[in-house]
Amino acid sequence: MRLGSIILFVALCSFTAYYIYEPIPEEIEERWKLMLTNSFFRSLSHLADLSELLGLKDYMGVMYFITVVEKVVPVSDEHVQVTEERFDGVEVVLYQPKQRGSDSELRRAVIYLHGGGWCLGSSRMSPYDLLARKTVTELDAVVLSVEYRLAPAHHFPVPYEDVYRVVKHFLQKGVLAQYSVDPGRIAVSGDSAGGNLAAAVSQQLRKEHGQQIQLKAQALIYPVLQALDLNTPSYQQNQDMPILPRTLMVRFWSEYFTSDKALFRAMMANTHNNPESSSLLKFVNWSAFLPETYHREYNYSAPAVVQGVGGEAVGMEGPSRSFADPRASPLLVPDAALRSLPKAYIMTCEYDVLRDDGIMYVTRLRAAGVEVTHEHYDTGFHGALMFTVWPTDFLIARRMTDNYIKWLKENL
């Protein structure tokens, strides 16, 4: 009996170690902590797949548990006043410094858009709450965190439109005066899918309002910027990396547009482009916009163009036009649309499927004459900035946060 228990214990330990261990690059700090963290995400993903297969709950419905477990009730503290409001019908969380200067003193402001692949996440999650408070106290700024509606319940363009409505509402003179915000010192920022929305909003404001309504800066943290080529070197190199493997990113993209699995399968094979979107592939040609060092052993091959995929399969008026829409894929705008955009901070991570999206945007913005600060983390992985809460607190997250805040302080 005792020998049997020992054998069972050893077998259980061996299985646990086998399940947790992943071939993560040696360069990444705190590798075992990342393996342990990712084992939770993988387990939840497996459970979500099973739940969807059995017809119990859809995949994103199960994955939303990540959002629920991290949610907090944003409350005021001795330094920060927190209120929950609605701007043009959209929920927002507003963070303001409690210590007021003179009535005439105006503050800078940051409009922050959370990540989560447009399907998960919330401005009320503890990492976002902590980041907002740090931004308020270190910059003496107002932070507006947007609780936009999520896919798959609300497909594109709903999340984008929610964000755009909030930004336009906030930028009204009367609203800025109400919160003592300097109209010339406002930034839009976001991570991952939030970075996508921030880039799209910056472009759309310039397109619709020119210099009349202008942001001073855009800060994009490992942003996702295009859906046309899902086989860039970073998608290939990091297809099995923790937190955001290629399969999950492709699922986020497809769910953003439609619940029809035909698009997901086509995107996984990188055969989702049709003649309409093919004309835009030149804007995501990584052989032209990625520095040689990031090409590695990969050779460029233009994505296949297939008649009907994303068109007849799922409705020509829907997804196929959506992933070619610059409001969904900001990297697809022509060069002329990039000129006069606000100065940019773009963070990228080496071990991230979205690395090349960010780097290509850096290249194109600079070529268009936009001032860009590109901060690349050679040991970084997707989502790292948000790992600031015990037990999943990482040293790299602190460095990322400090550098991000430092850039805002110097450029806003």
- The conformation of residue 267, written as its DSSP 8-state character, comes to H
- pLDDT surpassing 80 at residue 371: yes
- Partners of 343 in the β-ladder: 217
* 8 Å CB contact between 353 and 244: yes
**What is the three-class DSSP state of 121?**
coil
User: Which tens digit of pLDDT belongs to each residue from 218-274?
Assistant: 999 999 999 999 999 999 999 999 999 999 999 999 999 999 999 999 999 999 999
192 is catalytic: yes
Q: Which residue has the higher pLDDT, 281 or 3?
A: 281
Residue 322: pLDDT band with limits 50, 70, 90? confident
- pLDDT surpassing 60 at residue 182: yes
User: Which tens digit of pLDDT belongs to each residue from 333-353?
Assistant: 999 999 999 999 999 999 999
Distance from C-alpha of 101 to C-alpha of 236, rounded to nearest angstrom: 52
Q: Which residue has the higher pLDDT, 114 or 35?
A: 114
Asked if the bond preceding 157 is cis, omega within 30° of 0, the reply is yes
Going by C-alpha positions, the residue among 120, 176, 167 that lies closest to residue 146 is 167
High-pLDDT (> 70) share of the chain, %: 90
Residue 369: pLDDT band with limits 50, 70, 90? very high
- pLDDT surpassing 70 at residue 1: no
High-pLDDT (> 90) share of the chain, %: 80
162 is catalytic: no
Mean per-residue pLDDT, 323-329: 94
Structure tokens at 380: 């970084």
- The conformation of residue 335, written as its DSSP 8-state character, comes to G
Mean per-residue pLDDT, 131-142: 97
Mean per-residue pLDDT, 149-157: 97
Mean per-residue pLDDT, 175-189: 96
The pLDDT of residue 14: 40
Distance from C-alpha of 301 to C-alpha of 281, rounded to nearest angstrom: 11
Q: Spot the catalytic one: 114, 155, 272, 382.
A: 382
- pLDDT surpassing 90 at residue 213: no
The pLDDT of residue 323: 86
Task: For 385-397, give the secondary structure using H, E and C.
Answer: HHCCCCCCCCHHH
Q: Spot the catalytic one: 129, 229, 352, 356.
A: 352
Residue 13: is it exposed, middle or buried by C-beta count within 10 angstroms (0-12/13-18/19+)? exposed
Mean residue pLDDT across the chain: 91
Pairing of strands 107-113, 181-191: parallel
**What is the three-class DSSP state of 177?**
helix
* 8 Å CB contact between 65 and 139: no
**What is the three-class DSSP state of 320?**
helix
Q: Spot the catalytic one: 180, 189, 192, 202.
A: 192
User: Which tens digit of pLDDT belongs to each residue from 85-122?
Assistant: 999 999 999 999 987 655 568 999 999 999 999 999 99
| One-letter amino acid for residue 78 of the chain | E
The domains located in the chain, with CATH, are 27-293+320-411 (3.40.50.1820)
